[in-house]
Homo-oligomer: A and B are copies of this chain.
Amino acid sequence: MIKARVTVTLKNGVLDPQGKAIEGSLGALGFAGVDSVRQGKVFDLSINGDDAKAAEKSIAQMCEKLLANTVIENYAVEILG
């Protein structure tokens, strides 16, 4: 079994209203000094098999097809073992 983590974040320049809202809320809660907040997604995958290279390739395809919107989002795949 291979465990992997996919992190999907908005590309630079893409507006993030959710992050802005969190930034505002942190300010309202009294946290000073927060310059910016951007929100993304994380997916923890368990893949059957032991071939990490093949799993990484397969996960990249999953990102292209489903997990990320590559027009506005970047993704990073990390094999945890």
Residue numbers of A with Cβ under 8 A of B are: 1, 7, 9, 19, 22, 25-26, 29, 31, 33-49, 58, 61-62, 65-67
Tell me the number of copies of this protein. 2
A22 to B62, CA, bound (A): 10
Q: Are A47 and B34 in contact (CB under 8 A)?
A: yes
Q: Are A7 and B42 in contact (CB under 8 A)?
A: yes
A22 to B7, CA, bound (A): 15
Q: How far is the CB of A26 from chain B (nearest CB, A)?
A: 6
**A-B contact list, 9 entries, CB within 8 Å:** A22-B43, A22-B67, A29-B66, A33-B47, A37-B44, A39-B44, A40-B42, A40-B43, A41-B42
